[in-house]
Structure formats: structure tokens, C-alpha cells
Structure 1
């Protein structure tokens, strides 16, 4: 089964650490990163899709993707 997550966060080192942690848990980058700017807050936010193959499981919406 393939799992999908879309990681988001502010454009700072915390986002890079979030993606790095996912990569070190076996997730793989999927597609290009994205950026968006919130003019009201004056902040830029990042997003990156990641995927992971997991064996022996059937999909269930209650799966906690961050714990995989």
C-alpha cells in the first residue's frame, strides 16, 4: 500500500527538519515543493508531498500517517 502526506510549515528551518525527519523514516519526496505567501501575516509557507510504500496493511482512514 502506498501512503501519501503533504507536509506544510513556515519557510524556515523547522520545515526543513520536518521533511528531513520524514525522509529518515522512509518517506520519499513526491513532486516539487511549493511556496505560498500570506500578505496579511507577511510570511511565506512551504509544502512538500511525500509518499511511502507500506507492506501488509490495508488502507484505513484512521491510520496515523505521521507515525508510519
Structure 2
């Protein structure tokens, strides 16, 4: 099964660490990152999709971050 996650966070080094951690666990970048201004907080937010091929069967309660 191909698992999909969308990682999001404020535009800080913490976001880069979140993506780097996912890559170190076998996730692969999927597409380009996205940036948007969050008017509620006044900060820029980042998003990056990642995918990973896993030996699992999809079910809604599956914790994707634990794959």
C-alpha cells in the first residue's frame, strides 16, 4: 500500500526537522512544498506531502505517522 501524509507547520526550522525526520524513516517527498499566510496567527505556514510504500492494509484508524 502507498501511504500518504501531508506535513504542515509554521515556516520555521521545526518544519524542516519534521520533514527530515519523515525522510529518515523512509518517507519520500511527493510534489513541491506549499506556503501560505495564516491570517489568524499572522505567520507563514508550510506544507509538504510525503509517501511511503508499506506492507499494510488501509483502514481509517491506521496511524500514518507510525508507519
Q: TM-score band (shorter)?
A: over 0.9
**Which of the pair is proportionally richer in strand?**
1
- 2:17 corresponds in structure 1 to 17
Gap regions ≥5 residues in structure 1: none
**Structure 1 residue 28: deviation in Å?**
0.2
Q: Structure 2: 5+ residue runs without aligned partners?
A: none
Residue of structure 2 equivalent to 1:60: 59
CA–CA distance in 2 between the matches of 1:41 and 1:63? 31
Number of aligned residue pairs: 67
Q: C-alpha root-mean-square deviation of aligned residues, in Å? A: 0.9
